[in-house]
Each structure stands twice: as structure tokens, then as C-alpha cells.
Amino acid sequence: DVKVTQSSRYLVKRTGEKVFLECVQDMDHENMFWYRQDPGLGLRLIYFSYDVKMKEKGDIPEGYSVSREKKERFSLILESASTNQTSMYLCASSRLAGDVYEQFFGPGTRLTVL
């Protein structure tokens, strides 16, 4: 079974703090993704990565950066947290198995910025 883990389920930070969200997958997947989930808006893609040390901006990259130093780990960084970054953050990795493309999700990190 594919497993995607995220370092924290709940996190509370103060405005201006630097925040690191970690994601690890154990299936040697090339692609990894960071989304944020907000009620009524669904999932919005922040950043994604096709390979180690490679990153691409998603739809809402402002205020975020990422790091992919190892294939299994994809980190999301909030350089200076703001209250509008309070959200649920979901990490995913993906594979193409035969004709089927599938994304696998972690349990999510609920971040509150005070």
C-alpha cells in the first residue's frame, strides 16, 4: 500500500513565523504535490515537483516555497506566516501504473496562524 505521511496533523503558529510542513512518501514516486483545502474552494495546487531538486509553481504559489532534496520528501515552507494561510494542507504523490494515473494523499495538516 502506498503511504504518504505528513509531519503534523495540527499546527498553531504566530504571524511572521517561518513554518515547515513535511511530507514523505514510501513508494518511490516521481511526482509530489502540495495543495491547500478551504471550504467552498476545494483543493488548490500550491507547488509540485516532478523530480529531485525540481519544482513548479501551481495556481497559488505566493507566500510559499518548497524543497525537494530527496525523492521521498517534499517540504512546504511558509517564509513568514500570515493569518490568510490558515488552512488545511494536503500533500500527494502520484504514479502512472499501466494506463491508470493516480494521486495518493496524506492525512493533511491543519495549520492555524494567529
Other C-beta atoms lying within 10 Å of the C-beta of residue 72: 16
CA gyration radius for the chain? 14
62 versus 99: smaller Cβ distance to other proteins: 99
**Which residues, at least 6 apart from 87, have a Cβ–Cβ distance to it below 8 Å?**
36, 37, 38, 110, 111
Q: Is 81 near other proteins (CB under 8 A)?
A: no
Q: For other proteins, which residue of 21, 24, 25, 33 counts as binding (CB under 8 A)?
A: 33
Q: Is 103 near other proteins (CB under 8 A)?
A: yes
Q: For other proteins, which residue of 13, 58, 67, 72 counts as binding (CB under 8 A)?
A: 58
